[in-house]
A and B are shown apart, each in its own frame.
Chain A
Amino acid sequence: MSDVVARVRDLRIRFGGHEAVRGVSFEVMAGECLALVGESGSGKSITSRSLLGQVPEAGTVSATEISVVGEDATNGDEKFWQQVRGRRVGLVAQDALVSLDGLRRVGREVGEVLEVHNRREGSKIDRAELRSRVEQELERVAVPQPAVRARQYPHELSGGLRQRALVAAATIASPQLLIADEPTTALDLRVQAQLLDLLDELKTSGMGLLLISHDLAVVSRIANRVAIMRSGEIVETGPTAEVLRDPQHEYTRTLLAATPSLHARGARLSPLAPLTFPAELAPSRRDGAVDGPVVSVRRVSQSFSQPDGSRLQAVDDVSFELAPGKTIGIVGESGSGKTTLGRIILGLQQPDAGEVLIDGGAWSQLPEKDRRKDRHVIQAIYQDPLSSFDPRHKVGAILREALALSGVPRGERVDRAVELASHVGLSPDLLARRPLNLSGGERQRVAIARALARNPRVLLCDEPVSALDVSIQAQVLDVFADVQRDLGVAMVFISHDLSVVHHVSDEVVVMKDGQVVEQGSSDQVFLSPQHEYTQALLSALPLPELSPLGRELETDND
């Protein structure tokens, strides 16, 4: 019994009339990782907070049993929980920049748990000892130069180091249970892989790990067992490999089907029926367009001056071509210049050097007034559709504006907007709503409908699914596939997510620090990566043994 670090039986959390958690039971053993997997609103985070006594006051918690490190916590009061937090149960939250106090040095933040617990116990920890404990802990979580880092402020650390510092703050008092709530979500792939390795080591050293995540792929790397949550209930639980290979519950199957890295390229990801798009939405070409690539990027460079006076080379000599009806994926980590490149292709930013041709004609070199009449050829889809809509406009007005630009007479716009909405799978009553009151997936469909109203030949999608839950991401990716199949629209697909890019792209461009480090057909780049950066990115891809891509990679290496 001694190795059970947390046990919850029949946990229920109620907010007013809404039951957010409905009878959840689980155990976490020492040296084991249990992953609670679910989409937003599934109740996974709030469930984990019940092990810290940090359920918001508005919530009523009831459970047959909550025990933490062998102690009954079912009726624990605030005093009890203060002894538990940090010392027995550590918490690593999602966003390190928000979770760390920007006005305090990192070392102070990491050491706070020790100071607080010593003070409560009436002893005072010696300054030098505290400093050395902090440095030891930073070293343990692989923060280089711990003595230097401890004296810095959170903004002086990179995202990966901040996240490590947060782990150090959670583990310094050697808790027996560590709760990691979406610890890798905001991180680049390589940093994410390093952090998962670190959590794995902590687990091996005997800590119990409760991992909260929306991403089955991430979870599969380190979790011994998974519990799939939906609407406040655990719908399926079991050893990770078993659940992933042979899911029993319908919802688990939907989640797995929605995860791109588990499927062959281009496979359908969502259970929804394919959409069909009529010929009236077919692309219209530019006047005087010539056959050939629909987008040509020729030796484009762009630099920005930085606050300290130096120049940042955001895009450095990038060239590629996109054939009509095909998809090119642009992959890179944050800061690789992919978004700047996207803005240049859209003609929103004039490059310092090089040029972009659209439909064979001059584009990036044109003055805006000459470009405007041809803007319908290339349309944009953004990561955050909500802020790409005028906050004062309702969905109907948003679509009618695009239709008006396409020359649809005023009297027909209302009907056309309804048709447009139904083509992308939106109900007509949404036209009277504001985007703020739509779900993420609905908002992205509105953005797609708005773009299609202009009859584009090219869709430039900048991280279009990064903010969405996996099952919604699957639906939106399927919409893109339907659009491309029926209308022959070409796509520039910008993303940090390799598995998504692999799923949609015919050609791939890998960017790092503004430069293209590798480009070619999707198979070529993903199956035999030449550049070490691409190799590093791919080896950081979670879940190698379960994905077709991962299997092909492994057989390839043999």
Chain B
Amino acid sequence: MSSLRPDLVAGGPPSEPHRRARRFSASTIVAGVVLGVIILAALFPGLLATHDPNATNLPDAMASPGADHFFGTDKLGRDVFSRVVYGARISLSFGFVATVVAVTIGALVGLLAGLAPRFVDHVIMRFLEIMLAFPELLVALVVVALLGPGTTNVVIAVTIAAVPTYARIVRISTIQIRSSLFVEAATALGQRRPTIVVRHVLPNVIGPLLVLATIGVGTAIIAGSGLSFLGLGPVAPSPEWGLELSAGRDLLGTAWWVAVFPGLAITATVISTTIIGRKLQRRFEGRTV
């Protein structure tokens, strides 16, 4: 949101139309492919999985990665690759569901704080600041402690923990846009206040927020998997990445693949969403004022 606009200083025709990078860098392409495969796994796990994720096969337990079991098997002989594939749905839903809900609530709260009279803003902000004083994961832990463990409760906890960040960003950009010249110009033109909010403020706030939300998906996945790792999320034998990681941590010396592959899945997902989020952010920043 820089105010430095060299094309205005001189007032002549804008020099060179803003050149947007149209080509994608290698990292963006890789991130896109990785994320695409993971989303495919979440939607249609049957397409990718080679085994039933919950089928135990004790004779084959702790088999190392190979042609039959790409990622090896765990101590019950379950195929790690298939469990990672099936786990995508739960782990991604932590990220996407929690982020979508958190962004929606955050946007509403932030808009309210940014547009309401000052005392309402003060009350909302002080409350958000208290929540922001604690790390997100800690807030989520407290929520799970209150609600009890379970997949739904983990999603709720991660959502609640993420809301304050989004609310604060929305509030700031609301205030910024509310006092911008184009809002003043709309007022002088005779536009009604609710129309100004819907037509001019809201769209300009939401755009950049969606970009940030993309990056937030990664954070939410880590938080969700983290809670599962601690045994607060889905219960075994659900194939969830955090849970897998936790189950494999005692076997690192003997069967590293049980923990490493779910861990890699988490890492790859988070890095990919972040890379794509940053890419969107750079694109978007070129267009906002």
Which A residues fall within an 8 A CB radius of B? Answer: 39-41, 214, 346-348, 368, 372-373, 375-376, 378-380, 382, 384, 386-392, 401-402, 405, 436-441, 450, 454, 467-469, 472
Contacts known (A436-B18, A437-B17, A454-B190); A388 close to B181, Cβ less than 8 A: yes
Contacts known (A386-B8, A437-B17); A405 close to B188, Cβ less than 8 A: no
Contacts known (A382-B181, A391-B182, A467-B8); A450 close to B189, Cβ less than 8 A: yes
Q: Is the CB of A387 within 8 A of B181?
A: yes
Q: Is the CB of B190 within 8 A of A376?
A: yes
| Chain A hits for B207, CB < 8 A | 392
Q: Is the CB of B11 within 8 A of A472?
A: yes
* Interface mask (B13-25 → A, CB under 8 Å = 1, otherwise 0): 1110110000000
Q: Is the CB of B187 within 8 A of A387?
A: no
Inter-chain CA distance A282–B204, complex, in Å, is 34
Which B residues fall within an 8 A CB radius of A? Answer: 5, 8-15, 17-18, 180-182, 184-193, 199-200, 203-204, 207, 287-289
| Chain B hits for A388, CB < 8 A | 181-182, 184-185
15 contacts between A and B (CB under 8 A): A41-B10, A375-B190, A379-B189, A387-B180, A389-B185, A390-B200, A391-B287, A402-B189, A436-B18, A437-B14, A438-B14, A454-B190, A467-B10, A469-B10, A472-B12
Q: Within the complex, which residue of B10, B182, B192 is in contact with A372, where a contact is CB–CB below 8 Å? A: B192
Contacts known (A379-B189, A387-B289, A440-B8); A392 close to B14, Cβ less than 8 A: no
Total A-B Cβ pairs within 8 A: 92
Nearest 8 interchain pairs by C-beta:
A40-B10, A375-B190, A40-B12, A439-B13, A440-B11, A388-B185, A468-B11, A467-B11
Closest Cβ of chain A to B186, distance in Å, is 8
Contacts known (A387-B180, A387-B182); A436 close to B189, Cβ less than 8 A: no
CB-nearest residue of chain A to B286: A436
Q: Is the CB of A469 within 8 A of B12?
A: yes
Contacts known (A375-B190, A391-B288, A392-B204); A440 close to B13, Cβ less than 8 A: yes
| Chain A hits for B185, CB < 8 A | 380, 382, 388-389
| Chain B hits for A467, CB < 8 A | 8-11
| Chain A hits for B182, CB < 8 A | 387-391
| Chain B hits for A373, CB < 8 A | 190
CB-nearest residue of chain A to B185: A388
| Chain A hits for B287, CB < 8 A | 391
| Chain B hits for A346, CB < 8 A | 188
Inter-chain CA distance A69–B153, complex, in Å, is 78
Closest Cβ of chain B to A21, distance in Å, is 15
Inter-chain CA distance A224–B160, complex, in Å, is 71
Q: Is the CB of B184 within 8 A of A348?
A: yes
CB-nearest residue of chain B to A94: B9
CB-nearest residue of chain B to A391: B289
